Amino acid sequence: MDPFSQLFAAYLHTVSNSIAEVYVDSMNTTVTSQSLVYNDTNIRFQHQLWKIKPNSVCSDLEQQATQFSKCTQQAKTMFTELCTQLSSMENLNQRGRSLSNMYCNASLNYKPMVAYISEPEQKTDQELRQKECNLMILKAMQDSSDEMLKQKNTVCDNSLLR
C-alpha cells in the first residue's frame, strides 16, 4: 500500500471513530458510572440512555444498611437539586438538556431506602430467667445425667416462681 493510501485510510479511520464517539456520547448508549460528592456523601450510580439505573445508586454500600440508607436519601436530594439547577439554566446544549431530564426523572421516580436502626429493648428479669431455663432444657436434651436434670429443674423452677 502506498503512503498516500495509508494516510487516507488512517484519516478515514480517525474520522469514523470520532463520529462514532460523538454518537455514543450524545445517545448515552453505554453504561456510564458516576461518582459525585454531595453533602460529604460519595454517591455512586450508573446511567444509560439518559436514565439512572435505580439499583446502581449507592450499591457499593448495600451491605451497610445505615450508610446505604443515608446515601440513597442524599442521592434523592441531590437528584432534585441538580434537576432544579440545570432546569433553571438557559442556553443548555443537547448534553445539558439530556442531563437535566435524567436528573429530573430520577428526582421524581427514584425511591430511596429508608432505614432506622434503634437499640434493642432491655429484657425483663422474667424474660432473662425464661431464656436461662430454655438454655438448660436444651443442655438437658444433650446430656441426660442426673446432675444436669437437677440443674435444669432448679433453674426452671426458679424462673416460674418469680
- Statement to judge: residues 100 and 21 lie in one domain: no
How does residue 25 score in pLDDT terms, banded at 50, 70 and 90?
Answer: low
67, pLDDT greater than 80: yes
23 has pLDDT over 70: no
CA atoms of 106 and 102, how far apart (whole Å): 6
Say if residue 99 is in the same domain as residue 39. yes
Same domain, 40 and 101: yes
Which stretches of the chain are assigned E, i.e. beta strand? 32-38, 41-48, 51-52
Number of domains in the chain: 3
Inform me whether the pLDDT recorded for 19 exceeds 50. Answer: no
pLDDT of residue 117: 74
pLDDT surpasses 50 at 120: yes
Residues 19 and 70 in one domain: no
> Which one-letter DSSP state was computed for residue 54?
G
Averaged over 24-34, what is the pLDDT?
74
Residue 141 has pLDDT above 60, yes or no: yes
Mean pLDDT for the chain overall: 83
Closest CA to 69 of 112, 109, 38: 112
Q: Give yes or no: residues 6 and 61 share one domain.
A: no
Please check whether residues 35 and 113 belong to one and the same domain: yes
| Residue 129 confidence (pLDDT) | 87
Domain extent at residue 9: 1-28
112: number of Cβ within 10 Å: 19
Q: What is the mean pLDDT of residues 73-84?
A: 95
pLDDT at position 24 over 50 = no
pTM greater than 0.85 (yes/no):
no
pLDDT at 69 over 70: yes
Looking at residue 122, its pLDDT comes to: 85
Phi then psi for residue 45, to 5 deg, are: -160, 170
pLDDT of residue 116: 76
Same-domain pairing of 54 and 88: yes
